Amino acid sequence: MNEINYIAEELNPLILFADNHLLAVNKPAGLLSQDSGTGLRNLEDWAREWVRIDKNKPGAVFLNAVHRIDRAVSGIVLFARTSKALTRLNEDIRKRNCRKIYHALVEGVPAKPEDQLVHWLSHEHQRAGVCREGDRGAQRAALRYRILQLAGDQTLLEVDLETGRYHQIRAQLSAIGCPIAGDQKYGAKQAPEDGSIALHHRRLEITHPTLKEPVMIEAPYPADSEWWKLLGS
């Protein structure tokens, strides 16, 4: 059995939702969502191979990521298995007709138990920075958070993403003095050797592109992660 076939079979427990139009996978931290010209192993290639094996497809497999999450982040990545699904889901995301919920374990405790954060962010040198409205490249970024659990000197937050900017959650939580655990790029004190950060795409709520019914997908925490193992599933 070659490596990509082995990986595709290994991903079976990580499949969260699958039908003729959609495939949702619980991405482990450290794995790219897509190749993006790197030539490195990535979730999209593995998921395409899973479809080929599971559905016994001899030819080319249509599979496209509807959204991506950072390499250091774990959780839900949604793929479209048909061009119709891809077009409709992209339109829903553009119109914000979906809901993305993340869990973040942060250093410190936010000043408020729940709040809306609104910042203007710019993106350069593979990093998002807080800037002022009207600055070159400035984009409005908004999210809501609430405290779920205190864990020693860290806090577990639920984050409801209202916009989808580059590194938005990482930059905005850092801006209020609560960087995500492990995220040294945005001010965390320590980082694990595996390069993961304590950010997990926990729940995704969409409208099915053909059935027009609500679909709610939830991803358990990675079982082998130091960040999440003390918090349960």
Q: Which residues are catalytic?
A: 70
CB-based contact 141:120 (threshold 8 Å): yes
Residues 6+ apart with CB under 8 A from 134: none
Q: What is the DSSP string of 48-81?
A: HHHHHHHTT--S----EESS---TT-EEEEEEES
- The terminus-to-terminus CA distance of the chain in angstroms comes to 32
Closest CA to 144 of 168, 179, 108: 168
CB-based contact 77:32 (threshold 8 Å): no
Length of the chain equals 233
Tell how far CA 91 is from the center of its chain. 19
Q: Which residues pair with 99 in a beta bridge?
A: 205
How far apart (Å, rounded) are the C-alpha atoms in residues 115 and 172? 12
How far apart (Å, rounded) are the C-alpha atoms in residues 209 and 79? 12
Tokens of 169: 């959650």
DSSP 8-state symbol, 32: B
